[in-house]
Amino acid sequence: MTNLIPTAQRRRDARPVETRRSALSTARDLIALTKPRITFIVLVTAAGGMKLAHGAASLRLWFATMLGTALVVGAANALNMWWERDVDAKMARTQKRPLPSGRLSSNLALAFGLLLSVVSLPVLFVGVNAVTGVLGAIALLTYVLLYTPMKKRSIRALWVGAVPGAIPPLLGWTAVTGRIDAAGVALFSILFVWQIPHFLAISIFRAEDYARAGLKVVPVELGDRETDGMMVRYALSLLAVTAWPWFAGVGSALYLVLAMALGAAFVWLAAHSRRREPAQRIRWARGVFAYSIVYLVVLFAVLVATGT
């Protein structure tokens, strides 16, 4: 009898531990649905837009803008991962995500994404302003209802997806100014154009994964020559759009010089593709991808640090 008491006690003590562990695991998986690293990058660009905007921003406005933006991005990512759970199961890099791995139920993921959506937009509309709220709604709806299903139907999804991806700095700008003007559109345009060569590079070294999942990407659908030409054209376009903030009065001369130098390097790198040797081509694409990230970080850091 004395031996049974400790055993029963251990079982009772173990249940709360298992429950807590299960709850913690579920919480981690729900957070993973929001793609925290991407959300962080988005918040940085939105904060950059706020910093560059002419006008004072209170602590309350900063908090509401960052919170609303984080919730919108988290909602879009969660609903995207819910919608693409079958696609993710076919791709090596996404098979271990919470939904395709079976760690999280699809119903819970859908409810979580919808909850974030319902909460996020009032935060932007009421806590910030109507213009920012409308932009947040456009970003959310475009990403979930247009871009996500379009990825299996057309390569045009690349450009559709670039729209919500480019809105965050404009969110930050309109949060302070309350309007869409030339300078805000310039920030949007930089992110929009930048995403094209950035994602072309990704689609080159992940072409097999995308083809296996049935996603329409330029390298798979149009081939290497068209992909390479598009890469160069959009790298050249970056030279033009990155000069726009200077003409709009938010970029310094130092920023303009650096933007031209970074852009010229991007064009040079994009033009040095390797069409005949697959291994070299993949290394080149990874190099373009890595440079595109460094390019954007340095460009925006200098713009924000020296912007007027």
Residue where a domain stops, chosen among 180, 206, 239: 180
Residues 249 and 113 in one domain: no
Mean pLDDT in residue range 49-74: 92
Closest CA relative to residue 172, chosen from 51, 278, 267: 51
In-domain check, residue 27 = no
pLDDT higher than threshold 50 for residue 205: yes
Q: What is the mean pLDDT of the chain?
A: 90
What CATH number is associated with residue 88?
A: 1.10.357.140
Exposure pattern of 165-185 as b/e (b: 16+ CB <10 Å)? bbbbbbbbbbbbbeebeebbb
Tally of structural domains, the chain: 2
- Say whether both 219 and 294 belong to one domain: yes
> Is the domain of 161 the same as that of 188?
no
The answer to whether residue 39 sits within a structural domain is: yes
Q: Does residue 3 sit within a domain?
A: no
Average the pLDDT over 277-305 and give the result: 92
Residue 15 lies in a domain: no
Looking at the structure, do residues 193 and 297 belong to the same domain, yes or no?
yes
Quote the pLDDT of residue 275.
Answer: 61
Does 5 score more than 60 pLDDT? no
41 and 173, same domain (yes or no): yes
Burial of 274 (0-12, 13-18, 19+ CB in 10 A): middle
Quick: pLDDT tens for 129-175: 999 999 999 999 999 999 999 999 999 999 999 999 999 999 999 99
Token pair in block for residue 242? 């990155």
Residue numbers of the domain that contains 67: 35-180
Structural domain contains residue 105: yes
Query: Is residue 172 domain-shared with residue 208, that is, in the same domain?
Result: no
* Spatial CB neighbours of 160, under 8 Å, sequence gap ≥ 6: 142, 146, 147, 150
Q: Does residue 114 belong to any structural domain of this protein?
A: yes
pLDDT for the residue numbered 148: 94
Residues 219 and 140 in one domain: no
- pLDDT at position 308, please? 65
Q: What is the pLDDT of residues 16-38, one digit of tens each?
A: 544 444 888 888 999 999 999 99
